[in-house]
Amino acid sequence: MSCGKRPSGMVGWEDFLVYVKGVLPKVPDEMAGHFLRTTAIELAQDTLQLEASQTWDVQKDVHDYAVALPDAYRPAMIKRVWLDGVLLQALDVLPEVSTDERGHPCYRGCVYGYYYDAPDTVYVFPGPCEDKAGALVADFAVIPSRNTCFIDQRFFDEYAQAIADGALAHLYKIKSSDWFDLTLAGVHFKAFVAAKHRAKARRIRHNSTAPLVMKTRRFI
């Protein structure tokens, strides 16, 4: 896989290898990298602890804004949306469209909030009253894409050992390998599951422990 230049604030899968090859030095790098990637995806998907933010320049009376996160990530859910510094409430349905006396589209009723049409569009209501740079911000829980080469540095710092445990659990279960060992697979699997449960518990407590939500850089 050709990865190109490493973005600022990101780490590559090779940075995780020391955690795996310190235990299984004979495992091929490509095989270890595969299981590290799939384990990181599982951890991010199950815990929703990896976040990315996007910032938009808004236009007067424009409601819809396209989601364009980095290629390394795909959105799992939207967490928070601010318009001009005001935290918006999530709407359950997209408001109906009608037409005003001038024939312009408008939205019925006094609607205040945002609607996320996953995965591509964020709608805000009412529409901005003026053009303004950087006025709309959204935080997403994200999952690493299956072909990504990089992951956020802060996610690595917090969860490198957990991800390595998950990868080692898979590696020890390969029957055709020299290192096949179901007992050790179970040991590392239990360590991975315990780390995942701790992360979920912290999320349920509204991320009250500061470093547990890793926000990537904001993208405009």
pLDDT for res 106 = 57
**Taking the complete model, does pTM exceed 0.85, yes or no?**
no
**Does 97 have pLDDT greater than 80?**
no
Give the pLDDT confidence of 31-45 residue by residue, as tens digits.
999 999 999 999 999
Answer for the pair 41, 146: CB distance below 8 angstroms, yes or no.
Answer: yes
Which residues, in sequence order, are CB contacts of 39 under 8 Å at separation 6+?
A: 163, 166, 167, 170, 192
Percent of the chain whose pLDDT exceeds 70: 85
Task: Extract the tokens encoding 69.
Answer: 């996160």
pLDDT bracket for residue 211 (50, 70, 90)? very low
**Does 218 have pLDDT greater than 60?**
no
Give the pLDDT confidence of 41-86 residue by residue, as tens digits.
999 999 988 989 999 999 988 899 999 988 889 999 999 999 999 9
pLDDT bracket for residue 126 (50, 70, 90)? confident
Residue whose C-alpha is closest to residue 74's, from 31, 104, 29, 44 = 44
Answer for the pair 219, 68: CB distance below 8 angstroms, yes or no.
Answer: yes
* Integer angstrom CA distances of residue 9 from 35, 38, 153, 156, 209: 22, 21, 5, 10, 21
pLDDT for res 168 = 97
pLDDT for res 215 = 42
**Does 212 have pLDDT greater than 60?**
no
pLDDT for res 40 = 93
pLDDT bracket for residue 183 (50, 70, 90)? very high
**Does 164 have pLDDT greater than 70?**
yes
Percent of the chain whose pLDDT exceeds 90: 56
> How far is it, in rounded angstroms, from Cα 78 to Cα 93?
15
Task: Extract the tokens encoding 59.
Answer: 């236009």
pLDDT bracket for residue 209 (50, 70, 90)? very low
Write out the H or E segment, with its range, that includes residue 191. Answer: helix 182-204
